[in-house]
Structure 1
Amino acid sequence: MYVRRVVGAGARRETYTVVDGDGRVVEMVDDYLALCTDREHSPNTLRARAFDLKAWLVFLYLLGLDPLTASPEHVDQFAGWLRRPVQPGRLRSADTDSGPAREASTVNRALNSVYMFYEFLARRGVGMGAQLIHRRATSIGDHGGFLAGIAERQVTVRPTRLKQTKRRPPTLTDAEVQQILDACDRVRDRLLMALMFETGCRIGQALALRHEDINTDRRTLTLRPREDNANRARGKSRDPKEIPVRCTLLDLYTDYLFAEYGELDCDYVFVNLWNGVVGTPMGYWAAMSLVKRLRRRTGIDFHPHQFRHTHATALLRAGVRLEVASELLTHGSVRTTAEIYGHLDVDDLAEELDRVGFRGLR
């Protein structure tokens, strides 16, 4: 059982499917992924769902079950198997157990893929889709819609979901960011790191940036979702977002054009200049190779997405309204921003107590 990347339909240039051990496409899964492709879901989302459903099929194979004969009890067992995969009928000594194989968040994502797959099958009148959900009355803490509180309503609940520990995403200090920037010996590399830190854009959005997306007069850059990027760079947002940038970042961009980019004929901002084919768009591999070099030089174990977490946390700590931060981060909804960055850590609590003078009271 394995996942294959194949040509997509409609606007999607690529999608994914699951193939069994005999090299045949698993038709039920392929039909579901085709539906997701037609709805223009992100290729990264399609890939994750393909691997999640592959894991589900492997689990059912170990139990000798067909996907259409599986029950909600098997979904519960699947969650446990993802955390600690043990062959059916076999035991593992507790002395040799090194802990869960997957995080609770990863398991919940896989469970969501299974739920959505069976909801798709339920519309065909097969599978256990109707048994995988139940409804309950709303309670305090549920997300309310526009008419929340006006009429009684119910929410749909999926029975199997692991409890996740909420924690603020890891961030970098100002000193660490400066150390990383100072370790860049090329203007292009410094521009890439500074861009992710100062705008909070994703690495895919940065690598997909074209010169036409940078407006030096308005002091903005536009993050555009594109399906035809030669370097396969991708951003999660579906709509273009124009965001303001500082003059220092635009000055660094100008320095890069004059000092290193030169007369290259390429639409992309970030291109290969010293490795690979000169003048071609810089890809993920080249960007991660740069990150690894900077890790060695600085001793800071960081990932490009930490620049985004650092930027988002700085926005909220500075008092930027949640809806504004959500727009700047190109999130699909304010709720996404709140769920990722809305909770406070001990430093935030202490700062607020100091601000109101509570800790100074005797």
Structure 2
Amino acid sequence: MPSTYTAERAVSPRDESVSWVVISSEYELHMEACAFLASLRMASRSINTERTYAGRVALYLSYCAERGLDWRKPGLPWLARFLHWMVDEPLPPKGVKRRATPRFREQKTANAIMTTVCGFLRFCGQQGWVLPETVSQLSEKKFLGYMPPGYNPGEEGQFRTVQAKAIKFRVAVEGYEWLNPEQFAQVLGLTRRARDRFLVAFLGGTGMRIGEALGLRREDMHLLSNSAGLGCQVAGPHVHVKRRVNSNGALAKARMPRSIPVTDELVTLYADYVFERDQVPEAAEVDMVFVNLFRAPLGRAMTYHNAKDLFDRLAKRAGFPARPHMLRHTAATTWIRNKVPRDVVQNLMGHVAESSMEPYVHATDQDKRDAVERVAALRKGQVQA
């Protein structure tokens, strides 16, 4: 029976740091895959990225092993079959209860997996484990007829020709999911503890990534009207976002530090959370802001999985999807719709490229109706242009 591969979480006995590996059904490490994942850590990629990539590489290796294929020598027809298999093959049942209706991957998910697989093969090519001719077929030259806002084509248009994936599904580019003000208020109202209420309000009010929020230290919380006594010249209550290594694997994606102002309401919610936290002795000496208060191990820094479990419960109560990253999009969309200049929003979000702001411009049904009715009124001479 051929080997299958899975992604497994590994904890270092030396410092309890977390990493991810790929192992076979015989419990043997896949050395090339593990080296690829180690390269992600060397590049300071987040632990969540490492976990996701480990699962994707394991899926590719299992597909190859089950069909007696050499994963080092994929041809384009073979990769195309793998791409289509990912959306045609039903996903394994999730949870204890088996669903009557099978689940399938979306095409955009298959594209993301293929991107990771190609990155894995390119890495192996750099190490001499995959032939150069195999790597060269993974991408093809493409001329950009349409350039996204903020893209620099070069003085002579030399950057309009790029390397694009050779195999992928053509899918529509969607805007990011977000919560409208009523949905955000509903999710916030469903929280039952001060810590959870502060976390939801904090993500929706600052636009932070969940990894940035879970990586905050107490020293980053400058919530006085004047922080000069802390050696900080930023005026008003604010928090600092810094890229650093954390025990819970949380990582700020943006490499440049930034400060984000916070409202008096968030300061009050934080005070409520601190009072709740002070009732747990195990949390007293912990420097991380968000910690476990209600389940073991008490006082340990919250992980992404802790936060996801919380949002899963809130979404179930609310009756609509609610994920941590949706609140980042909620903050950005709210700022833009309230006429905050885009360069200010870009700085608050920690984006480097101006083009990163485009997906946050959400046109609502009312926006579209107002536009149609305004044009109709212009034609009838009822309003001035």
Does the CA contact (< 8 Å) of 1:122 and 1:130 recur in 2? no
Does the CA contact (< 8 Å) of 1:271 and 1:281 recur in 2? yes
SS in 1 for 2:266: helix
In the alignment, is residue 304 of structure 1 matched against residue 324 of structure 2?
yes
Amino acid corresponding to residue 205 of structure 1 in structure 2: E
Partner of 1:225: 243
1:104-183 matches, within 5 Å, as 104-123=107-126, 124=128, 126=131, 128-141=134-147, 146=152, 148-153=154-159, 154-183=161-190
In structure 2, do the counterparts of structure 1 residues 268 and 147 end up closer, same or farther at CA, with 3 Å as the change threshold? same
Partner of 1:254: 271
Does the CA contact (< 8 Å) of 1:243 and 1:328 recur in 2? yes
Question: 1: distance between equivalents of 2:262 and 2:169?
Answer: 40
State the shift of 1:293 in Å.
5.0
Question: 1: distance between equivalents of 2:154 and 2:345?
Answer: 25
Give unmatched runs, 5+ long, in structure 1: 87-96
Question: 2: distance between equivalents of 1:283 and 1:312?
Answer: 24
Deviations 1:307-345 (A, max 9, x none): 22221211221223333323222335333332x324645
In structure 2, do the counterparts of structure 1 residues 160 and 346 end up closer, same or farther at CA, with 3 Å as the change threshold? farther
More displaced stretch, 211-220 vs 30-39:
30-39
Deviations 1:71-120 (A, max 9, x none): 1111111110110128xxxxxxxxxx967711122111111112212222
Match of 1:101 among 104, 109, 124: 104
SS in 2 for 1:166: coil
Work out the number of aligned pairs and report it: 346
Amino acid corresponding to residue 316 of structure 1 in structure 2: I
Question: 1: distance between equivalents of 2:314 and 2:122?
Answer: 45
In the alignment, is residue 319 of structure 1 matched against residue 339 of structure 2?
yes
What do you get for the CA RMSD once the two structures are aligned? 3.2
State the shift of 1:69 in Å.
2.6
Partner of 1:81: 85
Give unmatched runs, 5+ long, in structure 2: 91-99, 227-235, 381-385
State the shift of 1:28 in Å.
2.6
Match of 2:56 among 52, 55, 64: 52
SS in 2 for 1:108: helix
Amino acid corresponding to residue 199 of structure 1 in structure 2: T
Deviations 1:194-219 (A, max 9, x none): 11111122333323322211112331
Partner of 1:241: 258
State the shift of 1:221 in Å.
0.6
More displaced stretch, 326-335 vs 343-352:
343-352
Question: 1: distance between equivalents of 2:240 and 2:310?
Answer: 24
Match of 2:369 among 340, 350, 355: 350
TM-score by length of 2: 0.77
State the shift of 1:286 in Å.
4.5
More displaced stretch, 71-80 vs 241-250:
241-250
Identity %: 27
In the alignment, is residue 4 of structure 1 matched against residue 8 of structure 2?
yes
Amino acid corresponding to residue 290 of structure 2 in structure 1: F
Question: 2: distance between equivalents of 1:302 and 1:126?
Answer: 44
1:256-271 matches, within 5 Å, as 256-258=273-275, 261=278, 264-271=284-291
In structure 2, do the counterparts of structure 1 residues 294 and 222 end up closer, same or farther at CA, with 3 Å as the change threshold? same
Deviations 1:165-223 (A, max 9, x none): 33333332323322333333433232122111111223333233222111123311112
TM-score by length of 1: 0.82
Amino acid corresponding to residue 239 of structure 1 in structure 2: M
Does the CA contact (< 8 Å) of 2:151 and 2:355 recur in 1? no
Partner of 1:92: none
State the shift of 1:156 in Å.
1.1
Does the CA contact (< 8 Å) of 1:323 and 1:334 recur in 2? yes
Question: 2: distance between equivalents of 1:227 and 1:46?
Answer: 15
Deviations 1:110-165 (A, max 9, x none): 11112212222333261611112221334233677545252445221221111223
SS in 2 for 1:37: helix
In structure 2, do the counterparts of structure 1 residues 287 and 155 end up closer, same or farther at CA, with 3 Å as the change threshold? closer
Partner of 1:90: none
